[in-house]
Amino acid sequence: MKSRGELNTEKRNDVSTSIDSMSIKDILQTINEEDSKIIDAVKIAIPKIEQTVNFTVNSIKNGGRVFYIGAGTSGRLGVLDASEIPPTFSAPAEYFIGVIAGGDNALRNSIEGAEDQIENAINDLKSYSINKLDTIIGISCSGSASYVISALEYARELKAKTIYLITNPNPYKNTKVDVMIQANTGPEIVTGSTRMKAGTATKLILNMISTTTMIKLGKVYGNLMIDLKTVNKKLIDRGTRIISEITGLEYDRAKDRLVSAENSVKLAIVMEKFKCNLEEAKAMLKNVDGFLHRLVKNK
């Protein structure tokens, strides 16, 4: 692609050319109507997202990690999604790691030129000693961030799996990767503001990748969050209700069982279902790789 102006995300959106003279209500309705197009853009990308999840599951099963790497909004979304995995699924922090151009300071502040720093991306990945077991997901709405492209090229040299996530039909700068996810979200309401539709689509896709990965690693029973960390009143209550629903225990007894299981919802369920102690429950779960349904489906 010769010019950034050819990118869909850089083109003017015909429905918003007069948005500066619209009423507040009409502006909001226009944004909402454009946002409704995001779902179809993501739906079309599902086959590529599926390929990505196969890589992420295999990476983690084999001792590898999943990296999100991006600049600006893309980087922030990667860090956001990765940071939610440990509390939601009691997963090690190294399962999903978010890397943003400019470092943690860039989470709150715009770091000028960070997306153009090729060497910084390589150094950032070197600090994690990435290897062939890892999966690297480079996020760039336009497909033009040199920081992301250099990270993908470096990861590919090390035989890691590489994913290129963009929100255009084609990237401004191409590079060879294992999978390219292309969610064509079209022109933005405010021209070029990819924090809007493109950013929303990116968040949806990252949700799909991380959530599906955790489900396939046994972190969910039915649709219940059985591996959540019960670290506050809300989550203790949720965990207690999950135990009660699966085991049939009354609320107070379920809460006591949670305490006896070191605040692990999953262990509490096994202890109650099989009338075993904590160590026995741990051993039983270990034998089924942590998949609760393999233990209790016939109980």
Give the residue numbers annotated as catalytic, written as ranges.
84, 115
Take residue 226 and report the two structure tokens written for it.
């059985």
b vs e for 178-205, b when ≥16 Cβ sit within 10 Å of the residue's Cβ?
bbbbbbbbbbbbeebebbbbbbbbbbbb
* Interacting residues of 65 by C-beta distance below 8 A, sequence separation 6+: 59, 94, 95, 96, 97, 128, 130, 133, 134, 135
Using DSSP bridges, classify how beta strands 161-166 and 179-182 pair: parallel, antiparallel or unpaired: parallel
Tell me the residue length of the chain. Answer: 299
Side by side, which strands form the sheet with 96-100? Answer: 96-100, 66-70, 135-139, 161-166, 179-182
Q: How far apart are CA 245 and CA 4, in angstroms?
A: 54
Take residue 221 and report the two structure tokens written for it.
């029973």
Q: How far apart are CA 191 and CA 135, in angstroms?
A: 32
Q: How many CB atoms lie within 10 A of CB 147?
A: 29
In one-letter notation, the amino acid at residue 178 is D
CA distances in angstroms from 291 to 187, 221, 236, listed in the order given: 43, 8, 21
Using DSSP bridges, classify how beta strands 161-166 and 135-139 pair: parallel, antiparallel or unpaired: parallel
Q: How far apart are CA 119 and CA 121, in angstroms?
A: 5
